[in-house]
Amino acid sequence: MRTLNPQEIQQLEQQGCTAEDWLRVEIADTQSLKYIRHARFSGDIRIGRFQKSFDMPGGIHKHTGIFHATLHNVTIGDDCCIENIKNYIANYDIGDDCFIENVDIILCDGPTSFGNGVDVAVLNETGGREVTIHDRMTAHEAYLEAFYRHRPRLIERLKAFAAQRVAERTSERGTIGDHVTIVDTGYIKNMYVGAYAKVEGAGRLKNGTLNSRAEAPIHVGYGVIADDFIIQDGSSVEDCTTLSRVYVGQACVLGHGYSASDSLFFCNCQEENGEACAIFAGPFTVTHHKSTLLIAGLFSFMNAGSGSNQSNHMYKLGPIHQGAMERGAKTSSDSYILWPARIGAFSLVMGRHTSHADTSDMPFSYLIEKNGETYLAPAVNLRSVGTVRDAQKWPKRDKRYAEGRLDQVNYNLLSPYTIDKMMRGLHVLEDLERLSGPTSDVYAYQSAKISNSSLHRGQQLYRIAIQKFLGNSLISHLERTDCSTAESVLAALKPKRTEGRGMWVDLAGLIAPKELVIALLDKTEAGNIESAEAFDQALRLMHENYYRYEWTWAYETMLDYYNLKPEEITIDDLIRIVSEWKESVVSLDRMLYADAQKEFSLSAHTGFGFDGASQHTVERDFEQVRGDFDTNPFVTATIEHIERKSALGDRIIAMLESLKG
């Protein structure tokens, strides 16, 4: 870079350019000056080379340069096109190969932290669970900051981590990275715009970060208004979406006029048409409908039906109530929950519920409204095709770029977290039956009612799922074990580590032993964890070691469930466990098969074969649209799964039998 000589100043002035002080304007070369026209400069200006053209849709070519723009304290990289800036650009560093056209104003009025350090009042709109957002925040860090308020020293340390990042990001100059496109946009103030981001037609972007990168660019579309926010790489915010004090994680999609305030959305969320207020949306929280309101709740792996809403206001002390729908919970159309309430993992909510039920120890259940009361059907979602289909689709729908993923996501449907809840739920159902008698018509549990048939069916389904999980863990362990002798098999059963015993927790996608989490929090409070990066690395190691910890938990649970003692386990005991596993897997798959068959029943044909068609035409129309039951991919996969798991069970049993000598 160098200052201009008198001839170059004269050339620019002849091209309609002015400057408060030409001595403060620096250029890369003389050849690029012809591409600077009708520009006004003030403050310190540094301008790169203009040697390329941008190829526009429709066959138009626009040479790089500066045309009709006012710049103040701006650095411009090589081969940028800056054109038709209605107001001005001030205090910005612009990278290489940027295209900025038809923008009102781009302003940095510092010092600013670009959305880092904003407090988001999740769950309780009146305060008390604020999460301080920053551009390296994970779902797990945010979860602990929001929900572990009983540990004030921990909250202090987590906020100190955020403050470190805020200090690193604070600047008096804004940044627009390489290969950025900003067109037809209104007001941009105090923004960090990462490489390869595209901002097209946004109305206002204020105090925010677009953490874009080449491998996972961000797109912000027409009519978007966003204040005090951070958007992570791979995400898109479109079509008049409005954000205020919002964090958007990696590979999220927000669009079709969605409105969100004081909310956190973590990886792979998809929010369209509806509204969110003070929610903690863990990974894969999805809502598509205009009539849906999510408010003051914790969600993850959740799908909200149309018209779903919750209420955090009982017209007493204000909107202070909160609730939780644990991972995988769903709502049907027109469902309503009056907070506070807690819905167990992978449960389905239908109807209106105002009794503040806590079904966290009854995962995979239905909550159904009957005559204004909440009825609970424990475990029935275990046999639902939809539940299994969801579990299969989530990993496939992870759109994050492989490198640099922030959130550690465990997709397992059956895990120590859910199985532990099932075991507690099973004990509750057994206690209810013992205390109220096996012939009672209705049992009362946590402000909900359970019918006699639902209670007995729930016990059966929980036992099947528990046996399936324990058998899965045992077989996986045996496949990694020296099985040449009975002694080697039995000696290898006992875990080599103690980590994994006891209760497990779901930290917004990351499933880990609570004991390890508490140990990490103790270290953090003691000052042994010095940064957010070190904290996140410790959580990442927990995620990577999940299966090692799982066997420790499964082994202890297997002993308890089957009433075995470590020193007395025999090969016959292992054969019994594998045999029950095989029966459970086949039994559950047959239930799923029967549930899938309902989708092809005669009632499902209703609406096919229009205009008074014959039954044959109805069936043909149905088959052309929905396919044939016997060739349905899920059905064929279920049949194959039965055959494969049956063969695996037979093989393991035969191997164990051979060791008996």
Supply the pTM of this predicted model. Answer: 0.93
pLDDT cut 70: percent of the chain above it: 94
For the cut 80, the answer to whether the pLDDT of residue 150 exceeds it is yes
The ranges assigned to domains in the chain are 1-107, 119-169, 572-658
Give the DSSP letter string of 381-409: GGG-HHHHHHHHHHHHT--S-STT--S--
For the cut 70, the answer to whether the pLDDT of residue 606 exceeds it is no
For residue 564, what are the contacts with CB-CB under 8 A and spacing of at least 6? 558, 573
337 vs 643, more confident = 337
Domain formed by 1-107, architecture: 3 Solenoid (2.160)
> What distance lies between CA 110 and its chain's CA centroid?
32
Strand partners, 350: 368
pLDDT per residue as tens digits for the range 40-56: 999 999 999 999 999 98
For the cut 90, the answer to whether the pLDDT of residue 422 exceeds it is yes
**φ/ψ bin of 306: left (φ > 0), alpha (ψ from -120 to 50), beta (otherwise):** beta
**φ/ψ bin of 25: left (φ > 0), alpha (ψ from -120 to 50), beta (otherwise):** beta
For the cut 60, the answer to whether the pLDDT of residue 336 exceeds it is yes
Average pLDDT over the chain, rounded to an integer: 92
> Residue range 508-515: average pLDDT?
96
For the cut 90, the answer to whether the pLDDT of residue 268 exceeds it is yes
For the cut 90, the answer to whether the pLDDT of residue 612 exceeds it is no
Q: What is the distance between the alpha carbons of residues 417 and 518, in angstroms, rounded to a whole number?
A: 16
Q: What is the distance between the alpha carbons of residues 549 and 546, in angstroms, rounded to a whole number?
A: 5
Weakest mean pLDDT among 20-29, 139-148, 550-559, 580-589 = 580-589
Question: Which CA distances in Å does 598 have to 121, 455, 595, 602, 619?
Answer: 44, 23, 5, 9, 15
Question: Quick one: pLDDT band at residue 126, thresholds 50, 70, 90?
Answer: confident
> Residue range 433-442: average pLDDT?
88
Q: What is the pLDDT of residue 72?
A: 97
Q: What is the pLDDT of residue 255?
A: 96
Q: What is the pLDDT of residue 386?
A: 74
For the cut 90, the answer to whether the pLDDT of residue 384 exceeds it is no
pLDDT per residue as tens digits for the range 189-239: 999 999 999 999 999 999 999 999 999 999 999 999 999 999 999 999 999
β strands within 233-361, DSSP E: 236-237, 242-248, 253-255, 259-265, 270-272, 275-277, 280-281, 286-287, 293-295, 297-299, 303-304, 309-311, 323-325, 330-331, 336-338, 341-343, 348-350, 352-353
Q: Residue 216 carries which DSSP code?
A: B
Q: What is the distance between the alpha carbons of residues 226 and 47, in angstroms, rounded to a whole number?
A: 30
Q: What is the pLDDT of residue 624?
A: 66
